[in-house]
Amino acid sequence: LWHASVIVLVLLFIGGSDANPAARRHSQLDVNHKKQPLQTFRPYNIAHRGSNGEIPEETAAAYLRAIDEGTDFIETDILASEDGHLICFHDVTLDNTTDIASRTEFAGRKRTYEVQGVNMTGWFTVDFTLRELKSLRVKQRFSFRDQQYNGKYNILTFDEFILIALHADRVVGIYPEIKNPIFINQHVKWSGGKKFEDKFVETLLKYGYKGKYMSEDWLMKPLFIQSFAPTSLIYISNITNAPKLLLIDETTVPTQDTNQSYYEITSNGYLAFIRKYVIGIGPWKDTIIPPENNHLGPATDLVARAHALNLQVHPYTFRNENSYLHFNFHQDPYAEYEYWLREIGVDALFTDFTGSLHKYLEWTAPHQNKEKKCRGPPA
């Protein structure tokens, strides 16, 4: 029944709550009061773009499924439309996960832009209004996943995503990423000289998301903010004290804003610097344990060094399909969870399959331990 009520609510707010006074009135309600609280005694289950192993990513249905399957946080990527609305979408281009290529009315919108130092050609979110983006239909990214939901769902606004979390039947956290901030700030302009980061934080504050990690405010409306751009995280540290994580790409990819190498941003000196602004790091898992011929290689000391600085480690992305499981795990995602949580000792996992991770956590850590796993001081 609560699924039905959430869907009705989302329909009421369709088109983005920025232009809807009712959304602002509703945002004042303390919808998480007296709900079952967020569990904080075991590693966090982060639904990567929703339960997108089952349902197309970043859709209302994918997030509702993840909540139903027991996720602690629903994760999303935030970009912007031409008219300045914040949307939940992973790629700066619409090509891979929408029906844009078949929409003849938009054929002339294809462009080539430089993104992170590389020329990209496609249909970009920044060249479409929110109304136009809402007219598109989302599809599954990977051909080997279930295709039956293609064309059934549209793109969400950041407001709609937040409302899904707030109206769950228990406290569910949100985990938004400031996506490609340099590119967005180049192509989208807001009044009053505001930046992408300003609009992002304004939206969070509008719905009451604030407070240091594990504070009363945070526990009522749990939030992690993530980005691959260190300057964005540092900038927003001046306008919100909510906890933040620095995402870390593969070893060959420099940071998109400061052009620093993987080795620079994972050095002890840099980790000691960035911990003034973040509560943890989110590395690609193969940088923590580089594979060799699809077998696990020797683990690096990144997790140990981060933990020594009281930083959490939330690696990405865990997927159940055999093509993503190294041979050591014998086609068993539960064996992979076991290794990363018991042997490597990370603090959370980004997963495309919320249900299986929830089952593992329920089987192995169903009750609160005497010593909480939550790492890091309030940040």
Note the pLDDT tens digit of each residue in 60-114. 999 999 999 999 999 999 999 999 999 999 999 999 999 999 999 999 999 999 9
Identify the residue with better confidence: 16 or 247: 247
Residue 36 has what pLDDT?
97
pLDDT of res. 24: 41
Helix axes 2-12, 158-166, angle to 10 degrees: 150
Greatest Cα pair distance in the chain: 61
pLDDT digit string, tens, across residues 202-212: 999 999 999 99
CA atoms within a 13 Å half-sphere pointing along the CA-CB vector of 9: 21
The encoded tokens of residue 185 equal 């700030």
Helices and strands in the chain: count of H runs, count of E runs: 15, 14
Q: In this structure, is residue 166 part of a structural domain?
A: yes
Q: For 114-131, how does the pLDDT look when each residue is reduced to its tens digit (9 = 90+)?
A: 999 999 999 999 999 999
Q: Does a structural domain hold residue 9?
A: no
Specify if 340 maps to a domain: yes
Q: Is pLDDT at 334 greater than 90 in this prediction?
A: yes
Cα 136 to Cα 95, 194, 329, 371: the distances in Å are: 11, 28, 39, 48
**Residues 6+ away with beta carbon under 8 Å from 273:** none
Name the band, by pLDDT with cuts 50, 70 and 90, for residue 33: confident
Cβ pair 377, 310 in contact under 8 A: yes
Q: State residue 58's pLDDT score.
A: 98
Average pLDDT estimate for 285-293: 96
Banded pLDDT at 320 (limits 50, 70, 90): very high
Which residue is it, tokens 């919808």? Answer: 31
Residue 298 maps to a domain: yes
Q: Which token pair is 335? A: 């064996």
Q: Alpha helices of the chain — where are they, by DSSP H?
A: 2-12, 21-26, 60-68, 130-135, 158-166, 181-187, 196-206, 216-220, 230-236, 262-265, 268-274, 285-288, 302-308, 333-338, 354-364
Q: For residue 297, tell me if it sits in a domain.
A: yes
Whether residue 55 lies inside any domain: the answer is yes
What does the mean pLDDT of the chain come to? 92
Q: What percent of the chain has pLDDT over 70?
A: 89
Out of 25-29, 192-196, 247-251, 364-368, pick the least confident.
25-29
Answer yes or no: is pLDDT of 368 > 90. no
Give yes or no for residue 7 having a pLDDT over 80. no
Phi, psi of 73 (to 5 degrees): -135, 140
The predicted model gives 11-21 an average pLDDT of: 41
The answer to whether residue 113 is domain-embedded is no
| Range with the poorest average pLDDT among 30-34, 196-200, 260-264 | 30-34
SS3 188: coil
pLDDT average, residue stretch 228-255: 97
- Count CB atoms within 10 A of the CB of residue 146: 12
Total domains present in the chain? 1
Query: Domain range holding 257?
Result: 44-87+156-364
Other CB atoms within 10 A of residue 288 CB: 20
Task: Dump pLDDT digits (tens) for 144-193.
Answer: 999 999 999 999 999 999 999 999 999 999 999 999 999 999 999 999 99
Nearest 5 degrees, angle CA 28-CA 61-CA 69? 90
pLDDT in tens, 42-66: 999 999 999 999 999 999 999 999 9
pLDDT band at residue 29 using 50, 70 and 90 as cut-offs: low
Distance CA 46, CA 354 (A): 7
Q: For residue 79, what are its two tokens? A: 């970009």
What pLDDT is recorded for position 101? 97
Quote the pLDDT of residue 351. 98
Using pLDDT thresholds of 50, 70 and 90, give the confidence band for residue 3.
low
The answer to whether residue 266 sits within a structural domain is: yes
pLDDT at 211: 97
Instruction: Give me the CATH number covering residue 316.
Output: 3.20.20.190
Cα 282 from Cα 244, distance rounded (Å): 10
pLDDT classification of 19: cutoffs 50, 70, 90: very low
Percentage above 90 pLDDT, the chain: 87
- Specify the pTM: 0.91
